[in-house]
Chain A
Amino acid sequence: AQSVTQLDSHVSVSEGTPVLLRCNYSSSYSPSLFWYVQHPNKGLQLLLKYTSAATLVKGINGFEAEFKKSETSFHLTKPSAHMSDAAEYFCVVSDQPGGFKTIFGAGTRLFVKA
């Protein structure tokens, strides 16, 4: 069975400092992994995805994530936070084969202080 755990429900950073949002996953197969962002009163937007190609994945708005199979992690990072990054972030695992399921993490709320 697959699962995804976002290790922090809330993260607070100052503008201009690095962002780290942590995600661990569990999967019996080779998973696809995603990060989505949700701004207040908006739908979810795909930030980036890992689908068994390069382990370091670059996404939109300067975000990137590294797939580490040995640590079963897919942490999201950004070198320098911007006020507009304040939002909720969801880590998602999609398992395969034979019955694709997509499991959303509980979300991490990112606060950015001026």
Chain B
Amino acid sequence: DSGVTQTPKHLITATGQRVTLRCSPRSGDLSVYWYQQSLDQGLQFLIQYYNGEERAKGNILERFSAQQFPDLHSELNLSSLELGDSALYFCASSVAEHSNYGYTFGSGTRLTVV
């Protein structure tokens, strides 16, 4: 157990729907990062939050949004889902705002859009 908790582990939903993925960072970590992993695109950085504030944005679609709450857990909202959104979504956390200390990853949420 890495200390980063992601729920749910698996999610199957239909095109056009909206889902919410949840992440609780490791105790003491203030930064949360979201990544999408697919076979064709590899590991893509989506967004980072630090202590409740957005810090960096990667290849995140406008249909996707995220937030980090006062208790530091984070949610990734995916809407108007398309078949191509099927992927593994990872959350990672770190103590620092900047990424040169390494991350602790959760075990991911596997999203299947049918």
Are B98 and A100 in touch, CB under 8 angstroms? yes
Interface members, chain A 57-114 (any B CB < 8 Å): 90, 94, 96, 100-102, 104, 106-107
Are B105 and A43 in touch, CB under 8 angstroms? yes
Instruction: Map CB proximity to A onto B98-114 as digits: 1 under 8 Å, 0 otherwise.
Output: 11111111111000000
Give which listed residue, A96, A104, A106, contacts B100 with CB less than 8 A.
Answer: A96
Are B43 and A107 in touch, CB under 8 angstroms? yes
Are B104 and A32 in touch, CB under 8 angstroms? no
CB distance from B28 to the nearest CB of A (A): 16
CB distance from A34 to the nearest CB of B (A): 6
Residues of B within 8 A of A56 (CB): none
Instruction: Map CB proximity to B onto A15-49 as digits: 1 under 8 Å, 0 otherwise.
Output: 00000000000000000101010000011111001
A46 and B98 CA atoms in complex are apart in Å by 16
Are A43 and B100 in touch, CB under 8 angstroms? no
How many B residues touch A, CB cutoff 8 Å? 20
CB distance from B34 to the nearest CB of A (A): 13
Are A46 and B56 in touch, CB under 8 angstroms? no
Are A102 and B45 in touch, CB under 8 angstroms? yes
CB distance from B12 to the nearest CB of A (A): 16
CB distance from B94 to the nearest CB of A (A): 10
Residues of A within 8 A of B56 (CB): 100-101
Cβ of B66 within 8 Å of any chain A Cβ, yes or no, is: no
Cβ of B49 within 8 Å of any chain A Cβ, yes or no, is: no
Interface members, chain B 67-114 (any A CB < 8 Å): 90, 92, 97-108
B interface with A by C-beta (< 8 Å): 2, 4, 42-43, 45, 56, 90, 92, 97-108
